Chain A
Amino acid sequence: MYGNWGRFLRVNLSTGEVKVEEYSEELAKKWLGSRGLAVYFLLKEMDPKADPLGPENKLIITPGPLSGTSAPTGGRYNVVTKSPLTGLITMANSGGYFGAELKFAGWDGIIVEGKAEKPVYIYIKDDNVEIRDAGHLWGKVVSETEEAIRKEVGSKKVRIALIGPAGENLVKFASVMNDGHRAAGRAGVGAVMGSKNLKAIAVEGSKQVPIADKQKFMLTVREKINKLKNDPVAGGGLPKYGTAVLVNIINENGLYPVRNFQTGVYKHAYEQSGEAMAKKYLIRNQPCYACPIGCGRVNKLPTVGVTEGPEYESVWALGANLGINDLASIIEANHQCDEFGLDTISTGGTLATAMELYEKGYLTDEELGDAPPFRWGNTEVLHYYIEKIAYRKGIGDKLAEGGYRFAESYGHPELSMSVKKLELPAYDPRGAEGHGLGYATNNRGGCHIKNYMISPEILGYPYKMDPHDISDEKVKMLIIFQDLSALIDASGLCLFTTFGLGADDYRDMLNAALGWDFSTEDYLRIGERIWNAERIFNLRAGLDPLRDDTLPKRFLEEPMPEGPNKGYTVRLKEMLPRYYELRGWTEDGRVPKEKAEELGIAEFL
């Protein structure tokens, strides 16, 4: 087999058993790898109704067939599991160097099962796998843990995926971190790792990923790297200003969410934009493994010193969404979230919910006592409550359950800007209705990554679509974006390659690496299979499409109050039935037997 090794590492933490799980090329041809194979294993082996924080949940960590190769951005890995935040499947994705190193060690992934009696970490050096005591690491923040493990194994080469205190304390939006500031961030994968008493996975590898046609692969990769370098976004704006280059664009387009999505225009946007960050704090870029783009930011502040980030999403979640405009405080808060292992989007979204509850008088000073009031723009809130959430102290214990459950506990779940209990990212869907349909139908809840309709609706990739067009053309484009995202995740690449590359480019690289002769349609079919399989997992976990494929009431009933999208809501009711139909699903959003048979996944229904 090429590209993939054809084997997973299976570690049962309850029994301490370590096994090699081999699989056939036939299976790889069906699921490709990473997100694809992980979803397959999860569906095959786990009851979707299982308690996400119980030992029966599985944590599957997978690089893809192009991870660890010279393919541009080929360093990504997915963490696939059942989310404690949403109760549905999640596939959190991260860059850095860990995914590539796991591949160098000769593994297509790790399936972690059960629960260790005491804190442990897994140390992998090629075929040698040890489960080691981590009692002395429990409680340590991310940078301290990395340093301690690095010393312990005596290697500078070791790459580590780990949790901070937030994961240990089962915060429902805890991340799995790697390479310091890189996060598999969304929907609480860090809490699942914590629930297994697993502090870290440290890995070192010495192998080269097997490539079917090395010469052809090298030439193909070179061509794609040139395409990316010549693209004005991948080779221009992103390396120069990082992802926060979006702050001004999204704000000028009137969909930059402010104060828990109460409006879409922020007068202080420039102060926290990528342009301002580059001018004031940036010292260098930080590319991930094999990445020609290098969007990662390394900033320096007197308070926290040299730190990585924040990304566009984090700038917004810890900034405008809370009415905060001080960029230094935002960078500090991002650093704190990384050290504790917290998802910045959900942290910001949860705090924004608390602020609106406070503004409306549902959350009172009496309850807060000496703690800082949840006033918009109060930077004290950031530093104080981020720590309280990570350690579940005081009201932090309630906030650690996520914005939806927090708002629900005050009788106002509608004040949580979340879909399927996952806090929304930095685009008000009233300014990009196709993106709104994406939030509503995303398998892991309110996330932008797996259906980035901002690309056509705002940025003009692959071509410009009217943000308020809700025709079938828009719905079809969303479906292509969803399937293509699944394919790119399954390949082990970064979604930013879509600025510069199209579906045919992925086909070229995959065929050369894997030795297959698949068409672009064949590969997109794999993406469709993954999307449908995840949907089946969710349906079996208890998803009720007609209840759950929706948006917060605010976007459906409260017109945008100002700016270019003034007066707009999201016409979800008109788009959703079209989406179901164009997906080949039933009128109530279920995957029918015929569709499942067509995709070869009927066994999972």
Chain B
Amino acid sequence: MLVKLFATLIEFTGKRKLEISGPKTVGELLEELDRMFPGFKKELERGYIILVNGKNIEHLRGLDTPLSDEDTVSIFPPAGGG
């Protein structure tokens, strides 16, 4: 699957995009990212916006939202503006 990272997560990981395969849910993906970049989950402790194919996981199944290798996952730290 394609994982896109934004804002401070780019600085934290040094990457904007990653190809990852294996995780079956968003929760598993976060575990994998935390393994690859220790402290990744801590970066999201104060909140996050996670989209699977542009849909917020809040309106899917949260961290249990299922993933397949064809999906695009976008991960943001909390952000706003206007």
A: which residues have CB within 8 A of B? Answer: 232-234, 236-238, 240-246, 248-249, 252-254, 270, 274-275, 295, 312-313, 448-449, 452, 454-455, 458-461, 464, 466, 495-496, 499, 563-565
Contacts and interface: CB of A to CB of B under 8 A. Distances in A.
Contacts of A563: 54
29 contacts: A232-B46, A232-B79, A236-B46, A237-B81, A238-B80, A238-B81, A240-B7, A243-B81, A245-B7, A246-B79, A246-B80, A246-B81, A248-B74, A249-B49, A249-B79, A252-B76, A274-B7, A274-B81, A449-B82, A455-B80, A460-B78, A466-B59, A495-B82, A496-B81, A496-B82, A499-B80, A563-B54, A564-B54, A565-B54
Interface bin, chain B = 20 to 34
Given A237-B80, A312-B82, A459 B6 contact: no
B81 A253 contact: no
Nearest to B55: A564
B56 A254 contact: no
A516 B49 CA distance: 39
Contacts of B4: 252
B61 to A, nearest CB: 14
B78 A236 contact: yes
B38 interface: no
B47 interface: yes
A242 B55 CA distance: 24
Contacts, number: 99
Contact of A461 (B10, B58, B77, B80): B80
Contacts of B78: 232-233, 236-237, 459-460
Contact of A242 (B8, B47, B81): B81
Interface of B: 4, 6-8, 10, 16, 46-47, 49, 51, 53-56, 58-59, 74, 76-82
Contacts of A236: 8, 46, 77-79
Nearest to B17: A270
Nearest to A459: B80
Given A270-B16, A275-B10, A245 B81 contact: yes
Nearest to B47: A232
Given A236-B8, A252-B4, A252-B51, 6 more contacts: A237-B77, A244-B81, A245-B80, A246-B81, A460-B47, A564-B53
Nearest first, the 3 closest Cβ-Cβ pairs linking A and B are: A564-B54, A243-B81, A237-B79
B81 A254 contact: no
Contacts of B74: 248, 252
Contacts of B47: 232, 460
A241 B54 contact: no
Contacts of A270: 16
A89 to B, nearest CB: 21
A236 B76 CA distance: 12
Contacts of B80: 233-234, 237-238, 245-246, 455, 459, 461, 496, 499
Nearest to B16: A270
A254 B4 CA distance: 15
Contacts of B76: 248-249, 252
A13 B57 CA distance: 58
Given A249-B76, A275-B10, A295 B81 contact: yes
A460 B58 contact: yes
Contacts of B53: 564
Nearest to A498: B80
A246 B59 contact: no
Contact of A237 (B7, B16, B58): B7
A273 to B, nearest CB: 8
A566 B51 CA distance: 15
B48 to A, nearest CB: 9
Contacts of B55: 564
A491 to B, nearest CB: 18
Contacts of A495: 82
A192 B76 CA distance: 42
Contact of A448 (B8, B10, B54, B82): B82
Given A249-B6, A448-B82, A254 B54 contact: yes
A240 B12 CA distance: 14
B67 to A, nearest CB: 16
Nearest to B59: A466
A313 B59 CA distance: 27
Contact of A248 (B6, B46, B54, B82): B6
A270 B10 CA distance: 12
Nearest to B58: A464
A460 B54 CA distance: 15
B52 to A, nearest CB: 9
B34 to A, nearest CB: 19
A242 B81 CA distance: 7
Contacts of B7: 237, 240-241, 245, 248, 274-275
Contacts of A254: 54
Contacts of A458: 49, 56
A534 B13 CA distance: 49
Contacts of A461: 80
Nearest to B80: A233
B72 to A, nearest CB: 9
A135 to B, nearest CB: 39
